[in-house]
A and B are shown apart, each in its own frame.
Chain A
Amino acid sequence: MRARVRLLQVLLLLFLVLGWEFSVRLGWVDAFFFSKPSDIAARIAEWFQTGEIYGHLWITLWETLLAFVIGTVFGVVMGLWLALAPTASAVLDPFIKAMNSIPRVILAPIFTLWFGLGVASKVALGVTLVFFVAFFNTYQGIKEVNPVVLANARMLGASGRELLKHVYLPSAASWIFSSLRTSIGFAVIGAVVGEYLGAAKGLGYLISQAEGVFDTTGVFAGMVVLAVFVVLLDWAVSRVEARLLVWRPEPGREGGTV
C-alpha cells in the first residue's frame, strides 16, 4: 500500500515535470513565461555549486526560527493566561480578534520602517502570524482539558501550579504541537514575504530579484528551493512532535492488549 502510493507519487511528479519540459521544447508554451524544468534544475545546481544560495538560505532559516520561537512562546504564554483567567479573556477577546483580522502583508512596510531592512522586520512579521496560531491552539487545548482528569488530579491533591504542570500543559501539548507544524509554515511565510517586500538577502529577496529582471527560471528555482526548505522544516518538527508525544495513541489503535 505505502510502496504503491510512493510509486504513484513519483509517477505523477515525472508526468508533470516531463509534460512541462516537453511542452516548452515542442514550443507549445513560451519558455520566457514558463521556463523549463531542466533550466530550473541547472540553475539550482549552479546556486549550490557556487555557494551563492547558502547565504540566502541561512538568513531565511534564521528569520524563520526566530519568528517561530518568539511567536510560539508568546502565543503559548498568552493562551495559558487567557484560558485560565476568564475576566482577562473576556476583556481582551475583541482586541485579539481585531488584531488577527489584519492582513499581515499590510504590516510588512510598517515593520520595515520600524525595524529596518534587516532580520528584525521579517521576524516581527513572522511573529504576528505565528503568535495567533500558537495562542488559539493553546487556548483551545486548555479549554478542552478533560474535566474528569482534572477532578481526579484535584482529588489526588493537586492545586494551582501542580494542576498546570500535571494536567493543563500536557493536555494542551498535543494542541500546541499540532500548531507547531502550522506555525513553522507561517514563520516561513513571514520571513519570505518580508524579504520579498524589502531586504538585502534571503530566499524571498532572491525570488524578487529574479522577478525584477523577468528571470522566470530564477523565480521557479527559488520556489523549488523554498518548497524543499519548508518540507524539511516540517519533517524536523514532526520528528520532535513524535518524540515528545509518545503517550498519544496512534489513530485507530486505541485499546491495546487485554
Chain B
Amino acid sequence: MREDASAPAIQLLGVSQRFGDYVAIQGVNLEARAGEFVAIVGPTGCGKSTLLNIVAGLRPPAEGEVRIFGEALTGLNRQAGYLFQADSLFPWKTALENVMLGLLLRRVHEREARERARIWLAKVGLAGFEDHYPHQLSGGMKKRVALAQVLILRPKILLMDEPFGALDVQTRQLMENELLALWQEDRKTVLFVTHDLEEAIALADRVVVFSAGPASRIVGDFQVELPRPRDVAEVRLTEDFLKIHREIWSLLREEVMRAHAR
C-alpha cells in the first residue's frame, strides 16, 4: 500500500452519517497527525461512536471522505485497532486464545502466536490468567485482555470508544496510566472517545468537542500542552490542567445542557 509519511494519519473530509432519517453527524472535518493522541468529547448521543465506526471502516459514511495516511479508505481500516465500549472478547476463548486470534488470522504460526500472546498478557499484567475465560475475569481484567488483543497486532491507529467507561474510578485511573505507558512506547495515533472531560484532558494531546446530536459537528478543538509522561491522577491537580478544563468546560457545558433540554 502506498503511504505518504507526511500525510495525516487520519483525515475526515466533510463526513456525515445517517441512520434512516436520523442525521447522526454532519460535515465533520478532522485531522490527526501520526503519533497524536486525540480525545473526542461531547454529550451522550452526539455520534462519537458513529465517528469511530466510520474511521474503522465498519460503516462507510453517507457523505464525505476518509483518508488514512493519505489513502482513501475503502472497506475495513486495516491500519486500525478498535477497543470497543462493550465487552468484545470472545467468551468461548480463553484470555490467551483471545489475544492470539488476530495473529492466527494473519497466518502467524500457532506456536509463535501463543508465545507472543503470552508476552502481551504479561505486559498488561495478566500473567497467570492465560487459561481463564472472560466470564472468570473482572471488568478491568477484560479490558486489559481486549487491549492486548488489539495491541499485539501493532496497529498504527488505535480507536478507543469509552473503553474504561464501565470501570470503577480506581481501576480506571490504573488503566489510563497503563494505556499512557503503552502508548509512550511507540506513539500510535489514537482517537479516544469519552464523555468524561477530565479523562480526555489527562490523556490527550488534543481535545475535540462535539455538539449535541442530532447532526453533531465539531464545535471546539483545544491543544493540551501538559508535559509527558503524565500521571492521570496527579496531572488533574495542576494549575494548567484546571485552566484548560475551565476553558473547554465552558463550551462543553452548553452542549451538555442542550443535549439534556431535548
A104 within 8 A of B: no
A95 within 8 A of B: no
Interface size on A, residues (CB 8 A): 26
Contacting residues, chain A, for B93 (C-beta < 8 A): 166, 170, 247
Assuming the contacts A148-B86, A155-B82, A157-B106, asked whether A254 and B135 have C-beta atoms less than 8 A apart, the reply is yes
State whether A162 touches B105 (Cβ < 8 A): yes
Stretch of B20-28, B136-144, B176-184 lying at the A interface: B136-144
List B residues 27-85 near A (Cβ within 8 Å): 56, 58, 76, 78, 80-82, 84
State whether A155 touches B76 (Cβ < 8 A): yes
**How many Å from the CB of B139 to the closest CB on chain A?**
8
B232 within 8 A of A: no
Contacting residues, chain B, for A258 (C-beta < 8 A): 138, 140-141
Count, A-B residue pairs, CB within 8 A: 82
B102 within 8 A of A: yes
A246 within 8 A of B: yes
Assuming the contacts A149-B88, A152-B88, A247-B135, asked whether A157 and B82 have C-beta atoms less than 8 A apart, the reply is no
Contact of A149 among B80, B81, B90, B135 (CB under 8 A): B90
Query: What string of 1s and 0s marks CB contacts (under 8 Å) between A27-60 and chain B?
Result: 0000000000000000000000000000000000
Query: What string of 1s and 0s marks CB contacts (under 8 Å) between B215-239 and chain A?
Result: 0000000000000000000000000
List B residues 112-164 near A (Cβ within 8 Å): 132-138, 140-141, 149-150, 153
**How many Å from the CB of B248 to the closest CB on chain A?**
30
A157 vs B140: C-alpha distance when bound (angstroms): 25
Contacting residues, chain B, for A256 (C-beta < 8 A): 132, 135-138
A158 within 8 A of B: yes
A171 vs B92: C-alpha distance when bound (angstroms): 8
With CB as the reference atom, state the residue of chain A lying closest to B137: A256
List A residues 137-154 near B (Cβ within 8 Å): 148-149, 151-154
Contacting residues, chain B, for A155 (C-beta < 8 A): 56, 58, 76, 80-82, 150
A2 within 8 A of B: no
State whether A246 touches B133 (Cβ < 8 A): yes
Query: What string of 1s and 0s marks CB contacts (under 8 Å) between B90-116 and chain A?
Result: 111110000001100110000000000
State whether A148 touches B135 (Cβ < 8 A): no
Contacting residues, chain B, for A246 (C-beta < 8 A): 133
A249 within 8 A of B: yes
State whether B105 touches A158 (Cβ < 8 A): yes
**How many Å from the CB of A104 to the closest CB on chain B?**
34
State whether B102 touches A247 (Cβ < 8 A): no
State whether A173 touches B84 (Cβ < 8 A): no
A149 vs B101: C-alpha distance when bound (angstroms): 13
Query: What string of 1s and 0s marks CB contacts (under 8 Å) between B193-234 and chain A?
Result: 000000000000000000000000000000000000000000
A248 within 8 A of B: yes
A157 vs B105: C-alpha distance when bound (angstroms): 6
State whether A170 touches B136 (Cβ < 8 A): no
With CB as the reference atom, state the residue of chain A lying closest to B102: A156
B87 within 8 A of A: yes
With CB as the reference atom, state the residue of chain B lying closest to A152: B88
With CB as the reference atom, state the residue of chain B lying closest to A156: B102
A103 within 8 A of B: no
State whether B90 touches A151 (Cβ < 8 A): no
A68 vs B106: C-alpha distance when bound (angstroms): 38
A40 vs B30: C-alpha distance when bound (angstroms): 82
Assuming the contacts A173-B92, A247-B93, asked whether A152 and B135 have C-beta atoms less than 8 A apart, the reply is no
Contacting residues, chain A, for B149 (C-beta < 8 A): 156
Assuming the contacts A247-B93, A256-B137, A257-B136, asked whether A151 and B102 have C-beta atoms less than 8 A apart, the reply is no
List A residues 229-258 near B (Cβ within 8 Å): 246-249, 253-258
A197 vs B150: C-alpha distance when bound (angstroms): 60
A167 within 8 A of B: yes
Which 3 A/B pairs are nearest by Cβ-Cβ distance?
A249-B135, A152-B88, A157-B105
What 8 additional pairs, Cβ within 8 angstroms, besides A162-B105, A247-B92? Answer: A148-B88, A151-B56, A154-B76, A155-B76, A155-B150, A166-B93, A171-B92, A257-B138
**Can you name 24 A-B pairs with beta carbons within 8 Å?**
A148-B87, A149-B87, A154-B58, A154-B76, A155-B58, A155-B80, A155-B150, A156-B102, A156-B149, A156-B150, A157-B78, A157-B153, A162-B105, A166-B93, A166-B101, A167-B90, A170-B90, A247-B93, A247-B133, A247-B135, A248-B135, A256-B132, A256-B135, A257-B136
